[in-house]
């Protein structure tokens, strides 16, 4: 961060010819009415954001990523897609998580409400420059065509461009015809992609809908340089009903027997239950419960964090839904037949805080009541 601020004149200089073609520069000046001044104002804006980053990084453990990203306008829907915002956010996260790069990318990818894909990719690129590739090893193999992507990136970085390659634009109609031809050629094991690369063709068994009016064909194409292309083609027609065939083996026989036993002796539905805890900072609390105590997150957003273990975190502003002095302990529970549960609460003269109604804009119903000890209970309809 210090280097960027100190060397601002180096990275912020307006490129000159031939970096910017004269004809492009002329059009920019003509249409934007003072492109150079606009460039300078953008530079000043970026430097202001860099100062914010430097101040926050100096706080060390007292600085929280979500708060900083908010100051950098990452959650401002009007400008969050701007390149300057994404670039500065990536610089901050890469600086903050230089010693733990995978968490830097994860933080960028899950900054819900920001331009996550852009910021995460830029953060990953910067962290890769700093730390190399070893930190990506645990996840790289799970990425489709990772070797192909790595090869393309290396060629781009080395400036390896095949000047002789000329690919004509592929129109929607020609692409549809190409797909139809590939799917129809059932005996073909090799074809050419629209960009003229060779590709091997492998097929998975087609599937016919239960009513026999739809058929789905599955193809996998692997190009000669390692890219994978999947094609699923849906056709309408009269294909006849198709019952799935299953070979009877000892394992399948045992599984079927156990399934029959389960159907004869149904287990009770699994319903969620646990405490809902209003907190002053979701990020700090997640760091405590996940990072320190080892709980695992099931669902996370700006408004709620749900752990697999049953705990739910909500912003402290959530308590504004309740009358002053009413709030003690907040629990939530899911029930299968919420109207009868609500009637039972009413019939037993328990205090109802919120009558049975829809939750926000959703169709899911809920109500709130007090238990015999005065603890607040939120009862939700099981989804």
What CA–CA distance (Å, rounded) separates 152 from 139? 18
Would you call the peptide bond into 18 cis, given omega within 30 degrees of 0 as the criterion?
yes
What CA–CA distance (Å, rounded) separates 183 from 117? 33
Residue 269 is labelled as binding a ligand:
no
Residue 117 is labelled as binding a ligand:
yes
CB-based contact 128:136 (threshold 8 Å): yes
Residue 232: what are its φ and ψ, rounded to 5°? -115, 115
Give CA 172 to chain center in angstroms.
29
Any idea how long the chain is?
383
Q: Which two tokens stand for residue 243?
A: 């019952």
381's CB contacts (< 8 A; 6+ apart) are 334, 335, 338, 364, 365, 366
Tokens 């202001």 locate to 48
What CA–CA distance (Å, rounded) separates 146 from 377? 48
Q: List, in sequence order, the alpha helices (H) in the chain.
A: 2-6, 8-11, 22-32, 35-58, 65-71, 83-96, 101-109, 116-131, 137-140, 146-158, 172-184, 250-264, 282-286, 338-347
What CA–CA distance (Å, rounded) separates 49 from 64? 16
Residue 225 is labelled as binding a ligand:
no
CB-based contact 270:80 (threshold 8 Å): no
What CA–CA distance (Å, rounded) separates 200 from 228? 10
Nearest to 237 by CA among 258, 217, 267, 263: 217
Helix (H) or strand (E) holding 354: strand 352-358
Tell how many helices (H) and how many strands (E) occur in the chain.
Answer: 14, 12
CB-based contact 274:312 (threshold 8 Å): yes
What CA–CA distance (Å, rounded) separates 278 from 138? 35
Residues within the annotated binding site for Mg(2+)? 115, 117-118
Residue ranges at the known binding site: 115, 117-118
């Amino acid at each position: 961060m210090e280097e960027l601020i100190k060397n601002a004149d180096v990275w912020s200089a307006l490129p000159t010819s031939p970096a910017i073609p004269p004809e492009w520069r002329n059009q920019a000046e003509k249409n934007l009415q003072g492109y150079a001044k606009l460039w300078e104002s953008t530079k000043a804006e970026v430097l202001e954001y860099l100062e914010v980053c430097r101040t926050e990084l100096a706080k060390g453990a007292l600085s929280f990523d979500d708060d900083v990203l908010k100051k950098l306008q990452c959650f401002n829907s009007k400008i969050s897609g701007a390149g300057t915002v994404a670039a500065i956010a990536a610089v901050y996260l890469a600086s903050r998580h230089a010693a733990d790069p995978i968490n830097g990318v994860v933080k960028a990818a899950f900054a819900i409400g920001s331009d996550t894909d852009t910021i995460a990719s830029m953060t990953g690129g910067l962290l890769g420059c700093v730390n190399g590739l070893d930190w990506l090893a645990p996840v790289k193999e799970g990425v489709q065509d990772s070797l192909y992507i790595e090869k393309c990136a290396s060629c781009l970085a080395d400036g390896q461009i095949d000047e002789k390659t000329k690919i004509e634009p592929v129109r929607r109609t020609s692409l549809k015809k190409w797909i139809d031809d590939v799917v129809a050629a059932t005996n073909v094991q090799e074809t050419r992609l629209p960009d003229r690369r060779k590709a091997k063709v492998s097929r998975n068994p087609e599937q016919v809908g239960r009513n026999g009016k739809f058929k789905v064909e599955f193809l996998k194409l692997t190009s000669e340089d390692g890219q994978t292309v999947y094609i699923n083609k849906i056709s309408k027609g009269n294909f006849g009903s198709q019952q799935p065939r299953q070979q009877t083996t000892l394992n399948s026989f045992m599984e079927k027997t156990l399934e029959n036993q389960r159907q004869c002796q149904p287990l009770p539905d699994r319903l969620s239950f646990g405490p809902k805890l209003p907190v002053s900072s979701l990020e700090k609390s997640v760091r405590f419960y996940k990072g320190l105590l080892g709980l695992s997150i099931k669902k996370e957003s700006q408004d709620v964090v749900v752990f697999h273990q049953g705990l739910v975190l909500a912003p402290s502003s959530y308590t504004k839904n309740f009358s002053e002095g009413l709030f003690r302990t907040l629990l939530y529970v899911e029930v299968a037949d919420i109207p009868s549960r609500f009637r039972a609460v009413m019939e037993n003269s328990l205090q109802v805080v919120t009558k049975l109604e829809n939750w926000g804009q959703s169709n899911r119903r809920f109500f709130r009541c007090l238990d015999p000890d005065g603890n607040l209970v939120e009862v939700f309809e099981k989804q």
